[in-house]
A = this chain, B = another copy of it.
Amino acid sequence: MKSTADDTDPAELLDRLLELTLLLTDDMDRELARVGLSPPRAHLIWVLAERGASMQQQLATDLKVTARNITALVDGLTESGFVSREVHPTDRRAFLVTLTEKGRRTVDQLARERVELAEGLFGVLAGEERSALLAGLTGVTLRLNHQITTAGHTPAEPTP
């Protein structure tokens, strides 16, 4: 298949990427809502599944929010039965936030749905096409990361 013109505008490409981004996050948020989770709460139990039972401070670092916020998120997740606060074996100041059985099942389900979604979106592509797309996305990610760490885009006033 030959494109009629090889002048794909970078801005057009970015618009498409953003459109896809929006669609994807909306879709995932709907799925989360279906199982009774907000995006931040889902993020928390997802991290919990990866790290195992954790102190709230650790979660605050992982989710990049304040400790105060973790208190609120864990409160909500406890009330809805996804996690519980267990005593810390050595530090009596701290809790070990732990997935309940329901929490574990939910994370497993979300993980399965994620794989299904991936299959639905990329499964029809030939292996070659998948590699090409992966390479393209990886390149964009690298350049974006570089831009972010290097400069602050525009000069920016020194805190107005």
Contact = CB atoms under 8 A, between A and B. Distances in A.
Interface in A112-135: 113-125, 127-135
A34 interface: yes
A131 B31 contact: no
Contacts of A123: 10
Contacts of A156: 34
Interface of A: 1, 3, 6-14, 16-21, 23-25, 27, 31, 34, 113-125, 127-141, 143-145, 147-148, 153-154, 156
Given A13-B122, A14-B122, A122-B13, A23 B144 contact: yes
B21 A24 contact: yes
A24 B144 contact: yes
A contact face: mostly helix, strand, loop, or mixed: helix
A39 to B, nearest CB: 11
A64 to B, nearest CB: 10
B132 A144 contact: no
Contacts of A31: 153-154
Contact of A16 (B3, B27, B138, B148): B138
Given A117-B14, A136-B133, A144 B20 contact: yes
Most buried by B among A9, A25, A133: A133
A137 B14 contact: no
B14 A144 contact: no
Please list the 7 inter-chain residue pairs (A to B) with the smallest Cβ-Cβ separation, ordered nearest first: A6-B127, A14-B118, A10-B118, A10-B122, A8-B130, A133-B136, A11-B118
